[in-house]
């Protein structure tokens, strides 16, 4: 299937490409440049969700394709939520001039009151169905006393992320993807009925079992549609979402037990199937 990424920001495009190649390689990503679209949608909404939905719908209607757009904002408690949704328009000038202005305004703010958060929203619009799928995530952090330019952009050089214990500008590509766009895309391809219908996986993305060995052909949603991402046992038992199954070892034990239940023949292969289960990103310790 095809998905249009509704942004002219090359940094975002590169990140989305990496994420989809890793999580859903069968989805063909298209850019605005592929359609010769140069329009920039005015982000005049009062919140991030409004802006993201406005962009996704505009590009979706223009291209006729399912379109994804996102919007992010930096919310600083000591500045009453500024720059917030108006991150790019909060202060005239370059990115460096904007983040240096924040440091100037916060020069007398003590460490304990420099809390902030990056909030990101993803919106996907389907022009055929005229509906949206949305996702929101918040990344807690604090404003540093000094800037540390690096590989990031925007306000990244002055934001220290609690989860990683370092500047956003210092994050690796993998860490940056895990911050919000990666989980958002994973949620999209996991729980969006349309994407589950259109994307076929050879192996269960939870236990690693070949999908062709699942007699049910994958989990069944409440509306009768099939999950082509997870086998029927992982899907029905919520293994991929269960907070109790939080280590590779627990996943292997779960998978081995469930595969054995399917048939004596498949049980013979259970041990082999689960030995090679890779450690998923959600089990990596930062």
Query: Averaged in consecutive runs of 10 residues, what is the pLDDT profile of the chain (286 residues)?
Result: 91 90 86 88 92 96 94 95 84 87 96 96 93 93 94 87 94 86 86 59 68 62 56 62 50 54 46 42 35
Q: What is the DSSP letter of 75?
A: E
Determine which one of 71, 146, 156, 246 is catalytic: 71
Q: What pLDDT, on a 0 to 100 scale, did the predictor assign at position 145?
A: 96
Closest CA to 204 of 236, 226, 227, 231: 231
Nearest 5°: phi and psi at 166?
Answer: -155, 170
Q: What pLDDT, on a 0 to 100 scale, did the predictor assign at position 48?
A: 95
d(CA 132, CA 58): 12
Q: What pLDDT, on a 0 to 100 scale, did the predictor assign at position 138?
A: 93
Q: What pLDDT, on a 0 to 100 scale, did the predictor assign at position 284?
A: 34
CATH class for domain 2-193?
Answer: alpha beta
d(CA 197, CA 42): 33
From-to residues of CATH 3.90.950.10 in the chain: 2-193
Inter-residue contact 117 to 75 (CB < 8 Å): yes
Nearest 5°: phi and psi at 177?
Answer: -65, -35
Active site residue 214: no
d(CA 138, CA 88): 18
């Amino acid at each position: 299937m095809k998905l249009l990424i509704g942004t002219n920001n090359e940094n975002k495009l590169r990140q989305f490409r990496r994420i989809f190649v890793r999580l859903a390689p069968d989805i063909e990503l298209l850019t605005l440049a592929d359609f010769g679209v140069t329009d920039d949608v005015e982000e005049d909404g009062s919140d991030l969700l409004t802006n993201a939905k406005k962009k996704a719908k505009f590009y979706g209607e223009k291209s006729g394709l399912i379109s994804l757009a996102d919007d992010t904002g930096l919310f600083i408690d000591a500045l009453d939520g500024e720059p917030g949704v108006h991150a790019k328009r909060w202060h005239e000038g370059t990115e460096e001039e904007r983040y240096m202005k924040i440091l100037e305004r916060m020069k007398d703010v003590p460490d304990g009151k420099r809390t902030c958060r990056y909030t990101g929203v993803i919106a996907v619009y389907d022009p055929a169905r005229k509906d949206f799928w949305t996702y929101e995530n918040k990344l807690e952090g604090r404003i540093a006393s000094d800037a540390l330019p690096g590989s990031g952009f925007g306000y990244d050089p002055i934001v220290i992320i609690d989860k990683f214990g370092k500047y956003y500008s210092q994050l690796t590509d993998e860490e940056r993807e895990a911050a919000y766009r990666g989980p958002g895309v994973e949620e999209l391809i996991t729980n969006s009925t349309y994407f589950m219908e259109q994307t076929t996986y050879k192996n269960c993305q939870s236990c690693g079992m070949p999908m062709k060995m699942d007699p049910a052909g994958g989990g069944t949603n409440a509306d009768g549609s099939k999950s082509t991402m997870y086998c029927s046992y992982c899907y029905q038992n919520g293994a991929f979402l269960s907070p109790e199954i939080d280590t590779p070892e627990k996943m292997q034990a779960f998978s081995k037990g469930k595969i054995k239940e399917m048939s004596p023949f498949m049980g013979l292969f259970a041990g082999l199937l689960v030995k090679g289960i890779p450690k998923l990103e959600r089990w990596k310790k930062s």
